[in-house]
Structure 1
Amino acid sequence: MERGSGTLDLVDGECEMAYGAARPRLREYVLGYRGYRLESDRPRRRLEVPTDVVTLTVGFEGSLRLTDAVATTDTDSFGSILAGLRRTATVAEHSGRLHGLAVSLTPQGAYRILGPALGDLDGRWIEAGAAFPGQGPRELVDRLRESRTWSARFALLDAYFDARFADGRVWDPSVSWAWEQLRASHGRTSVRTLVDGTGWSRRRLEQRFREHLGLAPKQAADILRLQRALLTYERRPGWGGARIADHCGFYDQAHLVHSFRAMVGCPPTAFFASRRAAQVPEPTDRLAGRVTTAIEFVDGGRDR
């Protein structure tokens, strides 16, 4: 397999992965490209935790069955998917054979493509084509599928996003300021501080956040705080739960565990035990610097 500029390819008998960076002027909005081809006879299940990233997945072969990890009756199957910011984790299952690529977008980047329609996602997944009216996206998917190398596919995506961003909407400056306050504080900035800083009412702030991110400020803050806790668990294995809770802005350990379970569907101990037990060829996390995923094989329709 080729090793194009800006890609790192990982290959074994079952798994082919390729990573690409967007061209420099796009990197404020496009966090990266990830191509994959999985050819296993064993079904797989991934638990994808909430992140501050919008994901566009373009499927060439195979499909994913997605289920809300908390509200387990919320489920659907997709070939290509647009997933906005979600406050609860997603269980993604497939047969073991899957071919496609995923694009990780900042909320600002997704808004430049979709505009206020991003807010209509309301934490849901949708078939990707439904978010992109017209013939352009379908033609793009055909060209991506027909390309022979990952680097050629990533170059096509660069050109597509260059054109879309040139004409796209930009965030309201006050929303940009409020989002940066939340990100810088890992979700610990209060809604009152955001209201005072923007000069908006609480209702207006929530409305604008939903238009630009698809979530209310409190929900966005919860995601950022969860990500802080996940990274701390991963990087500080010697810290106890109480210390992690204090470091990440939770009232106490019980509050941390309750919030974690409400968003991920299991306590932190179970999530990280699953990550440690994973024996799969592909890298676990979708993005560097974020804890995103636990992976399992599925045998006979049941967990190992």
Structure 2
Amino acid sequence: MKTSVHLAGLLAAAAVTLAACSTEMPDPDEKAGGGTGDPEGTTTSGSAAESPETSTSVGSGGETSADRSPEGTDASATSPSDEEDEPSPSGGHDGPSLEAGPSLDGTPSSPSSSSTLSAAGREQQSRLEEMAPSVLLAEDLPGDVLVGEQRRASVDSQFELNMTVRGVEAQGECRRLITRIDTFSRPGSAVGFSQYEVDPDAEGAIGEPEAFAAAVITPDEEDVMGMFGQLPEVCGELTGPNATAVFEPVEGLPGASRLVMESGGERIELLMGGASDGDEHVYTGYVNIETELAEQMLREQVAAFEERKR
């Protein structure tokens, strides 16, 4: 079973994509391992950027599932002459758009399939069930924008990030960092993913809000979320013919940043990132939710992750 979930709301061409062989993630209020299978289905967002031609085996907005080095894209490995020949992760688009989010392709982590898992897969499944409470339910997060969630989990997965900012020009170190995030891929990962259901008319919603949170186990210890925290210092403000994109830090959260994009009087806000601890991570995204409320959601999510059972 393959499920594709798109989180959109960044004008007509933005998407956060999860493509996975997946089942329901265990509810933190239920006994661990008590999740049930999820019926096969596809939810899309009507985004102008969504196209089967831009996806490969994991539907990750153009990313392949080929193995990459544990260090991601080496910022020092690209010479100026190489940069001129490489396609830019930004630019070549009249209006602002963003693709950013997680993708995974792997083995369902439902109890019914546990007998077919490898020993490493069973260990991941057990750890993911213990991490389930660190991905908060909508009812446990502040405000009235989030009203529910769809939870899925996968073990022994190809976990990827993708981030492509269009309409503005990124150069040098900023370009390399965005590319590093966009090409981040870790086979053999485990992911518990929640896509939140939203009320666009609730106080704190700006336009079309979207939100997700994911608990992630990678094969090795690494500061995955730290890449998002580097964006404000490395990239700052980017400009293009018709758009601007500004990366802002989030006080006290070194693994997160805020992106504000503006073009033609339209404004998009995205709060992204989370926290990493060894090989365990919490990854979130809040789109078009009032700044103060989105930060409060993120802080509570990170706090739940830091207080998780280990």
TM-score w.r.t. length of structure 1: 0.25
Q: Could you say which structure has the greater relative contact order, defined with CA pairs below 8 angstroms and 6 or more residues apart?
A: 1
Structure 1 or 2: more helix by fraction: 1
Whichever of the two has the greater Rg, that structure is: 1
Structure 1 or 2: more strand by fraction: 2
